[in-house]
Amino acid sequence: MTAPAGATALTATAATPALEIRDLVVRYGSGRKARQAPPAIDRVSFDIAPGETVGLVGESGSGKSTIGKAVLGLQRPTSGTVKLHGQDITAMSLKQRSRLVADLRVVFQDPYSSLNPARTIGQTLVEPLRLMGIKGPQAVEKARAGLESVGLPADAVDRYPSQFSGGQRQRIAIARALVCEPKVVVLDEPVSALDLSTQAQVLNLLADLRDQRGLAFLFIAHDLGVVRFLSQRTVVLYRGQVMETGPVEAVSQAPRHPYTVALTAAAPVPRPAEQRARRTAREAAGFGTAGAAAPSATGCPFVPRCPLATDVCVTERPPLRLVEGTEAACHHAERLKDLGAPHRSQARGGPLHRGRGAADA
């Protein structure tokens, strides 16, 4: 399949991807104002194969959650397509999408606001089953089994969200997403509100459930180290455009785009000496701060912050091209060594650096 210029697709290994996004553009607003505003998502394309996790990573405002909303039907795309198991769902209404409730589910970021405090856990888990026509004792039994599958007791169906910790609530949210036995799950920052030890437990749970059930995950996060823990492939976004894509180990350990280098160097680590060294290296490389200047309207959006930028970066949007194992949208990717890009040990990030994508179960 040929992707449009400037938006090379990440080709999944399956003949029919579980989720397929092609040339996606999203503009907020309506009418003339929307047409003149810069797109929140600008020609993004990628696939997710059955059983695969693709991580979307980038700073706040990069467009990660907007892509998730477009997939879920919460934000109508301006152009482009979203396909679920080969079926175009781009323009489907929420009513039409209700028939897909068993195939496409979501786990939201905040475990405290994603559960209705006035409803028991059982009522919360039974609701999506009711939409599928499963009711009564059969639905309750499936809810109990769903809780047990995420490491919680079956009798939790009779309790309320206030009786659980943040990590337990996120497990309940995962059980709610999986009780319908979906094939694709959107994980929108599912561990960012949790402490580090709980993050590791939830990520291990997600990896185990994915491997057991053959689930496809769209994993949205701002920390490349966390994305590396769970994903096989990653898509690095900046101002709605794909900066770099490829196998998560290659992108995290040997980034080929200046923005990925900056993102990796900015990731927090638990060792103060290493944190100082990373900050010093980032400052010495000359990366600008987010929002320091307006991006180029025609070229690379990272120009105002990039120490490698030249005139061609301002006038021509760089296409994604293969550079040493990953695809990078950079005219000067071969010069990246001039910035002193992080070596393998520096790229590990925080304590969640153990790659769970392919081999570590």
Q: Which residues pair with 42 in a beta bridge?
A: 25
> Does a structural domain hold residue 142?
no
Candidate from 118-127, 207-216, 264-273 with smallest mean pLDDT: 264-273
> Does a structural domain hold residue 167?
no
Give all strands of the β-sheet with 53-57 in edge-to-edge order: 104-107, 184-188, 216-221, 53-57, 233-238, 241-247, 326-328, 321-323
> Does a structural domain hold residue 58?
yes
Percent with pLDDT over 90 in the chain: 56
> Does a structural domain hold residue 5?
no
Q: What share of the chain is helix, strand, coil (3-state, %, to 5)?
A: 40, 15, 45
pLDDT tier, 66 (very low <50, low <70, confident <90, very high otherwise): very high
Percent with pLDDT over 70 in the chain: 81
> Does a structural domain hold residue 155?
no
Tell me the pLDDT of the chain averaged across its residues: 83
pLDDT tier, 270 (very low <50, low <70, confident <90, very high otherwise): low
- The CATH code of the domain that includes 227 is 3.40.50.300
pLDDT tens readout for residues 318-341? 999 999 889 999 999 988 876 654
> What average pLDDT does the segment 166-192 reach?
93
> What average pLDDT does the segment 131-140 reach?
90
Per the structure, the count of domains in the chain is 1
Q: What is the domain extent for residue 56? A: 19-103+182-348
> Does a structural domain hold residue 196?
yes
- Tell me the C-alpha distance between 55 and 217, whole Å: 8
pLDDT tier, 101 (very low <50, low <70, confident <90, very high otherwise): low
> Does a structural domain hold residue 112?
no
Residue 193 is predicted with a pLDDT of: 82
> What average pLDDT does the segment 155-172 reach?
94
pLDDT tens readout for residues 273-318? 766 776 666 665 656 666 555 566 789 999 988 888 899 999 999 9
Helix, strand, or coil here: 123?
Answer: helix
Parallel/antiparallel/unpaired status of strands 104-107 and 184-188: parallel
- Tell me the C-alpha distance between 358 and 137, whole Å: 38
> Does a structural domain hold residue 123?
no
Candidate from 61-75, 118-132, 255-269, 271-285 with smallest mean pLDDT: 271-285
